[in-house]
A and B are shown apart, each in its own frame.
Chain A
Amino acid sequence: MDIIKAEHLSFTYPGDEDTKPVQALKDVSFSIPEGSFTAVLGHNGSGKSTLAKLLCMIALPDSGRLWIAGREMTADDTTEEDILAARREVGMVFQNPDNQIVATIVEEDVAFGCENLGIPPKEIRRRVDEALAAVGMSEYARHPSYNLSGGQKQRVAIAGVIAMRRRCIIFDESTAMLDPMGRREVMDIIERLNREEGITVLIITHHMNEAARADRILVMNGGRIFADGTPAEVFGNPLRMWEAGLDVPQTTELCWKLRADGLDVPLDVFDADECARILAEKIGGRR
């Protein structure tokens, strides 16, 4: 089943006296199967974040059709109730950890969303404990939230979304402000939520190494879908990625440049050890 299905979506930011209207999405169609792990790439202004806003029903498309968990959001008879229901399916984690922590104690922060949904206290207690365990933050349950590291704060924000039982979570550059360790922590959690809990994951990122961990990559450029495929397919065409102002993982770039020397090396290997093993085999390592 598709948790998200979009057909010919377009969206324009209205202008005012000083600014012209900007068409951010142009005729975008795609679907996201339940349980999948998709990365969305694109340079700044390519339409990625606008797409995320539409998928969380923060904004409504100007034209085209959109279904969230089987409910159409764009039909004439779509009600407020349908939209609220859709928002309960798709959650979002933002970029800045400091902007999404609302409570002073970790477990209260995780409970915040559930409290707003009117869930009974006993049930909230159970969900908060489970969510904190899922992100490896149980021992911090009663800690103050303000002096956690950036990576820990993002994990608390993720726990808040898990506790609300979202079937799909969109991560909008959620690792951009973290140090390498924090980034790894958060990426590992995201991957586990997808593989073990079956939560559908969409990550918006500028880090090609993170995108390489997804099952599928959607590349946005100029408000349109520019490329759509597995990481091997998308990164396998570095010239096209550079054309869109993007990069490919360094292993791909290395192999692509070595192909000019007649070496038959793959472009879809993103792991350093694997890449080195293949290169050594082709070149013939001297021991």
Chain B
Amino acid sequence: MNAIELEHVNFTYNRNLPSAHRALDDISLEVKSGGITGLIGHTGSGKSTLVQLLNGLLKPESGTVRLDGIDIWAEPKKIREVRFKAGLVMQYPEYQLFAETVEEDIAFGPKNMGLSGEELDRRVREAAAFSGLGEDLLEKSPFDLSGGQKRRVALAGVIAMNPKILILDEPAAGLDPGGRRDILGGIKRFSRESGTTVLIVSHSMEDMAMYCDDVIVMAHSKILMHRPTAEVFSRAEELAAVGLDVPLITRVAAALQKNGVDIGLDVYTVDYAVGKLREYMSASRAPELP
């Protein structure tokens, strides 16, 4: 079952004006349910436009967007339902907090969906736990929290709406390595335990390598590739050609191959590289068979 399906989707900003700009050019895409997918591409490649199409903030000029097999624009009046289904956490969401307490802020979304009482309370508490916020923080003003905690409140507010698909735009930008691990680790746990499909937009290739099952690469308003993470990063030259990077460790693997030590090009985490190098060393130490 696919969580997301796009068929021949086109989108143009300022259509019919001299400043018209095609942001999505005949995009077709399938994202399976339950996994974590990364979306990468340089500035202006069409990532943000794609994300806004997925939760119905933008309407495609042509083509179909399906979530869970249902065409989201089949009944335009029901687009509000779609927005509940596809939760979007924008960049720097901590600037969007507004309520007097953390609890009220997290509860805002589910309340607007019509929830109340025990169900609402349960959702808020579960979402706070997934986002790594202690119960003791719920009564505090969100404005007294640190930047990392504020961001987790914003994330919890979307998780509490129990979306089928969670879309995050640069969820770890500006956080230190520990903060990045906390928030991305929480998102991964949430996805695994709830079966929610997650789409992460990021410029951090190292984070993508650590947390994503597969990666979509966008360039010039089209999809350049959509493959398992290891395979995407093994195509370093193609990524470089569209202004993207691969993790430093992947570049080490490529350079090792040029120096005669072949541990493959699909290396994207340090631990995997260490394992591969150990295999290589024990193989080269083994006595030659007669």
A residues adjacent to B (C-beta < 8 A): 18-19, 42-46, 95, 149-151, 173, 176-183, 206, 209, 245-247, 249-251, 253-254, 257-258, 261, 272-273, 275-277, 279-281, 283-287
Interface contact A176-B270, CB-CB below 8 Å: no
Choose among B175, B252, B260, B273 the residue with the greatest number of A CB atoms under 10 Å from its CB.
B252
Cα distance A62–B278 when bound, in Å?
Answer: 54
A287, B258: Cα distance in complex, Å: 9
**Quick one: which of A245, A249, A281, A283 contacts B248, CB cutoff 8 A?**
A249
With A249-B248, A250-B248 already in contact, the answer to whether A182 and B43 are too (CB < 8 A) is yes
User: Among A18, A246, A258, A273, which residue has its beta carbon within 8 angstroms of that of B177?
Assistant: A246
Using a Cβ–Cβ cut-off of 8 Å, how many residues does chain B contribute to the interface with A?
46
| Known A-B contacts A176-B173, A177-B173, A206-B175; A283 and B280 likewise in contact (beta carbons under 8 Å) | yes
* A250 x B270 contact (CB < 8 A): yes
A250-B206, A253-B270, A283-B280 given; A180·B173 CB < 8 A:
no
Q: List 11 A-B contacts (CB under 8 A).
A: A44-B175, A44-B176, A95-B174, A173-B174, A176-B174, A177-B173, A246-B178, A254-B270, A254-B273, A258-B274, A285-B260
Whether B259 lies near A277 (C-beta < 8 A) is yes
Contact B42 A181 (CB under 8 A): yes
Whether B252 lies near A251 (C-beta < 8 A) is yes
Question: Knowing A250-B270, A254-B274, A258-B277 touch, does A245 contact B260 (C-beta < 8 A)?
Answer: no
Question: In residues 253-268 of chain B, which contact A (Cβ within 8 Å)?
Answer: 253-256, 258-262
Contact, CB under 8 Å: A280 / B261: yes
B255 touching A273 by the CB < 8 A rule? Answer: yes
Judging by beta carbons under 8 Å apart, are A250 and B252 in contact?
A: yes
Q: A182-B43, A250-B247 are in contact. Are A276 and B258 (CB under 8 A)?
A: yes
In the bound complex, CA of A182 to CA of B41 (Å): 12
Cβ–Cβ contact A149 & B244, under 8 A: no
User: What separation, in Å, do the CA atoms of A284 and B262 have in the docked complex?
Assistant: 11
For chain B, what secondary structure do more than half of its interface residues adopt (helix, strand, loop), or is it mixed? helix
> How far is B170's CA from A209's CA once the two chains are assembled, in angstroms?
19
In the complex the two chains form, what is the Cα distance from A257 to B271 in whole Å?
A: 9
Which of B44, B91, B176, B247 has the largest number of chain A CB atoms within 10 A? B176
Q: Number of A-B pairs whose CB atoms are under 8 Å?
A: 127
| Ranked 3 nearest A-B pairs via Cβ | A285-B260, A276-B255, A280-B259
> Which residues does chain A contribute within 8 Å of B93, judged by CB atoms?
none
Which A residues touch B146, using CB under 8 A? 44-45
Contact B42 A44 (CB under 8 A): no
A275 to B273, CA, bound (A): 13
Complex: A29 Cα to B113 Cα, angstroms: 54
Residue B205 lies at the interface, judged by CB distance under 8 Å to chain A: yes
Find chain B residues with CB under 8 A from A275 CB. 252, 255
User: Is B125 engaged at the interface, CB distance under 8 Å to the other chain?
Assistant: no
Partner of B203, one of A19, A180, A257, A286: A180
B205, chain A: closest CB distance, angstroms: 7
Q: Cβ of B243 and Cβ of A286 under 8 Å apart?
A: no
**Contact partner, A276, options B141, B243, B252, Cβ 8 Å:** B252
Minimum distance in angstroms from B248 CB to a CB of chain A: 4
Complex contacts, A285 vs chain B, CB 8 Å: 256, 259-261
Known contacts A257-B270, A258-B274: does B249 contact A250 (CB below 8 Å)? yes
Partner pick for A178 among B203, B248, B256, CB 8 A cutoff: B203
Q: Which of the residues B144, B259, B274 comes within 8 Å of A18, measured between beta carbons?
A: B144
Q: Which residues of B contact A286 (CB under 8 A)?
A: 260-262, 284
CA distance A179 to B40 in the complex (A): 10
Instruction: Tell yes or no: B105 within 8 A of A by CB.
Output: no
User: Is A276 a contact of B256 with CB atoms below 8 Å?
Assistant: yes
B34 beta carbon closer than 8 Å to chain A: no
| B249 and A254 within 8 A (CB) | yes
Residue of A nearest to B258 (CB): A276
- Tell me whether A43 and B179 are in contact (CB under 8 A): yes
Q: Indicate if B281 sits at the interface (CB-CB under 8 A).
A: yes
Instruction: Please name the residue on chain A nearest to B247 by beta carbon.
Output: A250
Residue of A nearest to B253 (CB): A276
Which of B175, B203, B280 is A179 in contact with, Cβ under 8 Å?
B203
Complex Cα–Cα for A18 and B145 (A): 12
Beta-carbon contact of B248 and A272 below 8 Å? yes
State the Cβ distance, B57 to closest chain A Cβ, in Å: 20
CB distance from A144 to the nearest CB of B (A): 12
- A181 and B245 CA atoms in complex are apart in Å by 8
Determine whether B251 belongs to the interface, using a CB cutoff of 8 Å to chain A.
yes
Bitwise, B223-256 to A at CB < 8 A (1) or not (0) is 0000000000000000000011101110111111
Judge if B163 is at the interface, Cβ distance under 8 Å. no
- The smallest beta-carbon distance between A162 and chain B, in angstroms, is 23
**A residues less than 8 Å from B147 (CB atoms):** 44
Task: Compute how far the CA of A272 lies from the CA of B270 in the bound complex, rounded to whole angstroms.
Answer: 13
CB distance A251 to B176 under 8 Å?
Answer: no
Question: Considering the chains assembled together, what is the distance between the CA atoms of A19 and B205 in angstroms?
Answer: 38
A283 touches B179 (CB 8 A): no
Complex contacts, B170 vs chain A, CB 8 Å: 177
Q: Given A280-B261, A283-B281, A283-B284, verify A245-B255 contact (CB < 8 Å).
A: no
Q: How far is B258's CA from A249's CA once the two chains are assembled, in angstroms? A: 21
Q: Which residue of A lies closest to B91 (CB)?
A: A177
Complex-state Cα separation, A19 to B274, whole angstroms: 47
